[in-house]
Chain A
Amino acid sequence: MTRLPPRATERLDRSQTVAFTFEGRTVQGYAGDTIGSALYAAGQRIFSRSFKYHRPRGLLCCSGHCPNCMMTVDDVPNVRVCAEPLREGAAVRAQNVIGSLERDLLSVVDRVAGPFMPPGFYYKTFIRPRRFWPLYEKLLRGAAGLGRVDPHAERTGRFDTEDRRVDTLVVGGGRDGLKASIAAASGGESVALVDENPEVGGSLLLSETGVSQARKLCEQARRAGVDVLASARAIGLYEGKLVPVDCGELLIRFRAERVIVVAGTAEQPLVFPGNDLVGVVLPQAARRLVNHWAVRPAESAVVITADDTGLEAVEDLQAAGTKIVAVVDLRQREPRAIAARGRRGAVTAVEIDGQRLACDLVVASGSPQPNYALLAHAGAKVEHDPARGVFIPTELPAGVESVGAAAGLIGAPAVPAASYEPARRRPGKSFVCLCEDQTTKDLKLAINEGFDSIELSKRYTTVTMGPCQGRLCHLNSIRTYAAETASSEASIGTTTARPPWAPVSLQLLAGRAHEPARRTALHHRHREHGAEMIWTGEWRRPYSYGDPAGEAAVVHDAVGLIDVSTLGKILVAGPEAAAFLERIYPNRFGNMEEGRIRYGVLTSDAGRIMDDGTLARLSPNEYYVTTTSTGAEGVIEWFEWWNATWQHDVEIINVTSALAAVNIAGPSSRELLGRLTDLDVTAEGFRYLDAKRAYVAGIPSLLLRIGFVGELGYEVHFPSPYAVDFWNTVLERGADLGVDVFGLEAQRILRLEKAHIIIGQDTDSESNLLEASMPWILKLDKDDFVGRWSTEHVDRRGLMTRLVGFEMDAAQLPLEGGQIVENGRIVGRVTSVRRSEAVGRTIGLAWVPAESAQEGAEIDIQVDGRPAPATVTLKPFYDAEGERLRA
């Protein structure tokens, strides 16, 4: 154990031990530990194997930024254990290894395969023979990479999403962030402060006096009304000042009038041979291990630093009992060459200008780079500061501010060299990008191959595209490019900063699934009847109650009941209602009598069929329009869109939800209806295509005598809260008439017998009225209407195809979408097909060449891969003269 005596700055609750397993063995830590600190305290030094070369990697940043400590925790891969709070019973496993972290079989890659794995090697050395690529790909994916995602895994927890608005959002809870939030809240603004660490205070928390100062500031902020959120990481700054914040199992989407980014700096590694060895760390890592988790990081250390952070680490290490072998302050002396030496992947010494210093820890720090990424997301300009060797945000967009180190207030650090490799002998790899295992040599090769822009290089070498998202490699890659191309960092520039700023789980982004479902007021009655429910758009509808053919037979022989509440229902009302409908539909409505119904088909301005339904004239200035079940919203938008131009004095009101609708259909429907209403329901009193208003079963209703299913029938529309009572009453009063329910499948059989089309099934986005065999809809003797020109154009050029009925032997059943063939060529397609017991044949609708659209024409339809004969018909298959319908 390397645990130190209790310290004032530690986060541990030593009264509470926490046990977990690591690679199957039990390890203990304290409450307040991270998994990483507990493992380190237990003596674990290798935390991962690198992405490509499988080199041993140990703790580097202890801030949850680098890839070095990624493990699989409770089956969740790629967890940065240095920042993952320790929890009882957690099962922690190494990832991307074959064997163990200490003895990884794939580390052979580092020893022998390095020369064969330059940037983009998979495009160069694994391309022949081409047919083997799937195999190569599988092997490469297996050998490289991060943790394994189980494609069959379930969600591992509950993930919610929350939307919040504040006047000011402060990102970063260090001293400057806390002060900025207090100032804003004191001015009366609503303020939230988010910080990625478990406790706000930033670097203040690394010293005893700083801890008390941080807590005082935090208390002051809370008293001022600031909503302080810790373990809350801002992952991007989007247009409209939208800032998604990852709070673990909650994603908060903040929208703020003002965003203040106080995200501090990211410590930068130095580039030298062996800079990835276990034991080479950044200053914050050493300081956090000592101060937060009371762990002595090592026995002896060498510190090489470009700024004060390294010196602060020296003080903490000394206090922890680590011997400081040497301190190299780059502001005072810059070595020509640095190289870390190691054994079994762990550092044992560092050579500085040839002087060998034995140690088991190297604290190395380049200049601190302001965390400008969020500002850059928002559109801030980022410029190179040659005096300090870092990039500084300038020209912030309106409403976005930056304070403190993130704004560039980082003092005067030294500007480190791009790399400290010895001029001649290179004693090992110098890593620029630890996430992707990219070395200085790799970048130089990329430049020599022509990838001399930093953006191209990023895509080719994948530097900055790994889990750290450039925090630890972006600056060093730019420095390497500048040095190698003999240009300035300013001219190299930065790559485009894009969210997310830090990795975020897909579960969190997905959040709680909201998948709206519309249910009619009779939904649960259908379930009680044993309905099989299906989706039609957002609606849940009964497909059948178990026997579609039997349900269709009830409608032919007695009386059936179907819930058609899903139909779109629109009131078009106002002095110019008739004029509006005349202009938007191709058929005529201005001459309709009050209380009558007409079928209507909507076409687009290109003359294509959009939707259909019925229009009932309720009064001179009021029409009741029905649409298809999935078409209501589209039709209303269409109406409103056109009327925004036409400015007719008309109101378009959606009453779809307000009204339930039930179709009572079959030869006994008149008798059944008569039992429920005082209305005259005789054939003379209530004619086909009449619309009447009356009480039905005590409910004020609108009755439409129409017949989509081809039998005598009535659609009753009434307030939806009474749907259950209505349904029950109809079934009860019609029991002796043999009334029964029928579902969508029976309805599809019945409508097909009448050759009634379904928009979207029998038509597509190219279908027009003429070729869909509905020329009678068109009223070309009226004024202009939507789609007129296009329809006339079709008329002029002649029909190329036609929608027709066909019938064939009942033993044959082509597929919907099946082909019409002629001499082996596909010339058309089937859109609907069913076996009809009433007709005794297989019947359907199909698009055929216009010349085949003749009564009795013979066509061939593919059935099970062979052409089968069918006969074209232009009339309904059942009750062709409509006598039953109009009875």
Chain B
Amino acid sequence: MTVGGLDFLSVERAEAAGEFRLLARSSMEQRQRDAEAVFAERDGWLTAVSFPEETAHLASVGIADLSHLGKLEIRGASQPPLDPDVVWYQVHPERALCIFPPGRAAALQQGLVRGGAHVIDQSAGLAILALVGPHARALLRRLTDLDELPASGHAARVRADVLDRGSGVWIVFGQDYGHYLWEVAVDAAAPFGGGPIGLDVLEQEESAR
């Protein structure tokens, strides 16, 4: 096993790690533990799959951690892959953000590089908060002045990209702000009766839609 190129940025490349037991962790893990989350391993990540009272939260606004999704930063002109599971945000003509299910970074990266783009795996660097439910937009308005989505700017004074995702919105930001932004979002959701939700109930919600 060798590490070449920019493999040292890749979360995926740690999969065949041999004697060492590895689990990728979100920067929000500790706050989720404090909120009594139940965790499960998915795609090499330790993910919060449920929280107390999450159904009630979802009826207002639920906050879910999607940091385990893969993310690529694309520099240079590029075309989004024809893949329904890929979320593509064209930040400007020469820059894009690509978000996709975990485990597919290398394949997507290869395809995009072939197209001439400069591609960086930011799966480790970016965190994602999903705001879901009828008050998702109202909560977003308490975190950012970004309105017409997708858009880039700031959320709770942290540099962020905000994407419209059907049942809610995604806030994409540097993972080292994860603890802070989780705290701010959960606090801002409280007046609406919202709070954290796990991946299980989020997936059920998405499939019901």
How many A-B residue pairs have C-beta atoms within 8 angstroms? Tell me. Answer: 162
A653 engages B120 (CB within 8 Å): yes
**Residue in contact with B18 in the complex, picked from A515, A698, A718, CB distance below 8 Å:** A698
Residue from A565, A651, A698, A723 with most neighbouring chain B CB atoms (10 Å):
A698
What is the chain A residue whose CB lies nearest that of B141? A162
Given known A-B contacts A162-B141, A653-B73, A698-B18, A719 and B175 have beta carbons under 8 A apart: no
Decide: A255 and B24 in contact? CB cutoff 8 A. Answer: no
Question: Is A722 in contact with B14, judged by CB distance below 8 angstroms?
Answer: yes
A721 touches B11 (CB 8 A): yes
Stretch at the interface among B51-59, B81-89, B177-185, B197-205: B177-185
Indicate if the CB atoms of B8 and A718 lie closer than 8 Å.
yes
Expressed in whole angstroms, the Cα–Cα distance for A255 and B145 within the complex equals: 9
Please measure, in the bound complex, the distance between the C-alpha atom of A214 and the C-alpha atom of B20, giving whole angstroms. Answer: 72
Q: How far is the CB of A220 from chain B (nearest CB, A)?
A: 24
B24/A162 in contact, CB under 8 A = no
User: How many whole Å from B114's CB to the nearest CB in chain A?
Assistant: 17
- Docked CA distance A658–B122 (Å): 6
The stretch among A363-371, A516-524, A754-762 that forms the contact with chain B is A516-524
Which one, B10, B75, B179, contacts A700 given CB within 8 A? B10
Segment at the B interface, from A29-37, A459-467, A689-697 = A689-697
Tell me whether A648 is interfacial, beta carbon within 8 Å: no
B41 contacts A by Cβ under 8 Å:
no
Q: Contact: A516 with B177, CB < 8 Å?
A: yes
A655 with B120: CB separation less than 8 A: yes
- Minimum CB–CB distance from B125 to chain A (whole Å) comes to 3
- For B6, the chain A residues whose CB sits under 8 A away are 571, 618, 622
Known contacts A695-B17, A698-B14, A698-B19: A163-B8 contact under CB 8 Å: no
Evaluate contact between A160 and B191: CB separation under 8 angstroms: yes
Contacts of B138 in A (CB 8 A): 162
In the complex, A619 Cα to B2 Cα: how many Å?
Answer: 16
Residues of A within 8 A of B174 (CB): 518, 656-657
A478 vs B21: C-alpha distance in the bound complex, in angstroms?
A: 81
Verify A516–B157 contact, CB threshold 8 A.
yes
Contact A523 B179 (CB under 8 A): yes
Interface status of A130 (Cβ within 8 A of chain B)? no
B residues less than 8 Å from A718 (CB atoms): 8
Q: Which of A255, A619, A695, A723 contacts B3 (CB 8 A)?
A: A695
Report whether B9 and A658 are in contact in the complex, using a CB–CB cutoff of 8 Å. Answer: yes
Please determine whether B118 and A725 come into contact, CB atoms closer than 8 angstroms: no
A682 CB within 8 Å of chain B: no
Q: Is the CB of B26 within 8 A of A721?
A: yes
| CB of A699 within 8 Å of the partner chain | yes
Please, which residues of chain B bring their CB within 8 A of the CB of A651?
75, 118
Q: A699-B14, A719-B10 are in contact. Are A163 and B124 (CB under 8 A)?
A: no
Are B24 and A518 neighbours in the complex by a CB distance under 8 Å?
A: no
Chain B residues within an 8 Å CB radius of A160: 142, 188, 191
Contacts of B113 in A (CB 8 A): none
Q: Which partner residue on chain B sits nearest A520 by CB separation? A: B176
User: Using a Cβ–Cβ cut-off of 8 Å, how many residues does chain B contribute to the interface with A?
Assistant: 58
Whether a CB of chain B sits under 8 angstroms from the CB of A729 is: yes
Within 8 A of A (CB), among B132-181: 138, 141-142, 144-145, 147-148, 156-158, 174-180
Q: Which of B4, B5, B145, B176 contacts A519 (CB 8 A)?
A: B176
- Which chain A residue lies CB-closest to B120? A653
Residue in B closest to A718 when the chains form the complex, CB atoms: B8
| Chain A residues within 8 Å of B179, by CB | 517, 519, 523
- Tell me which residues across on chain B come within 8 A of A384, comparing CB atoms: none
Contacts known (A518-B177, A653-B73, A693-B7); A729 close to B124, Cβ less than 8 A: no
- In-complex Cβ contact of B24 among A523, A622, A721, A729 (8 A): A721
> Quick one: CB contact mask for A695-731 with B, threshold 8 Å, 1 for yes?
1011111100000000000000111111111000100
Q: Is residue B45 within 8 Å, beta carbon to beta carbon, of the partner chain? A: yes
B120 near A571: Cβ-Cβ < 8 Å:
yes
Report the separation of the CA atoms of residues A102 and B175 in the bound assembly, to the nearest whole angstrom: 62
A165 at the interface (CB under 8 A from B): yes
* Distance in angstroms between the alpha carbons of A722 and B123 in the assembled complex: 12
- Asked if B3 and A700 sit within 8 Å, CB to CB, the answer is yes
User: Which residues of A sit under 8 angstroms from B178, Cβ to Cβ?
Assistant: 519
Complex partner residue of B125 from A164, A518, A720, CB under 8 angstroms: A720
Tell whether B186 is near chain A: CB-to-CB under 8 Å.
no
Residues on B with C-beta less than 8 A from A574 are 118
> A519 to B180, Cβ gap below 8 A?
yes
Question: Residue A514 at the B interface, CB < 8 A?
Answer: yes
Q: Are A163 and B145 in contact (CB under 8 A)?
A: yes
Assess the A694–B180 pair: CB atoms within 8 A: no
Which residue of B is nearest A160, CB measured? B142
A693 touches B125 (CB 8 A): no
Q: Which residues of A contact B18 (CB under 8 A)?
A: 698
A659 interface contact, C-beta 8 A: yes
Residues of B within 8 A of A656 (CB): 125, 174, 176
Q: How far is the CA of A697 from the CA of B1 in the complex (A)?
A: 13
- Specify which chain A residues have a CB less than 8 angstroms from the CB of B125 in the assembled complex: 655-659, 720
Residues of A within 8 A of B24 (CB): 719, 721-722
Q: Tell me the smallest distance from the CB of B30 to a CB of chain A, in Å.
A: 5
One of B2, B30, B158 near A516 (C-beta < 8 A) = B158
The complex places the Cα of A609 from the Cα of B207 at a distance, in Å, of 56
Q: Does B27 belong to the interface (CB within 8 Å)?
A: yes
A512 at the interface (CB under 8 A from B): yes
Contact of B8 (CB < 8 Å), options: A523, A653, A702? A702
Given A514-B184, A519-B180, A721-B11, output 17 extra A-B contacts at Cβ < 8 Å.
A160-B191, A163-B141, A163-B147, A255-B145, A521-B176, A571-B6, A653-B73, A655-B122, A657-B126, A694-B3, A700-B13, A720-B176, A721-B45, A722-B14, A722-B25, A725-B25, A729-B20
The 6 closest A-B pairs by CB, nearest first: A698-B17, A658-B125, A698-B20, A721-B24, A163-B145, A719-B124
Hey, which bits of chain A sit against chain B, CB under 8 A? 158, 160-165, 253, 255, 512, 514-521, 523-524, 539, 565, 571, 573-574, 618-619, 622, 651, 653, 655-659, 678, 693-695, 697-702, 717-725, 729
Q: Provide a sorted-by-A list of 16 A–B residue pairs whose CB atoms are within 8 angstroms.
A: A162-B138, A255-B147, A518-B176, A523-B179, A571-B120, A619-B5, A658-B124, A659-B8, A695-B1, A697-B22, A699-B20, A700-B14, A720-B125, A722-B14, A722-B22, A725-B25
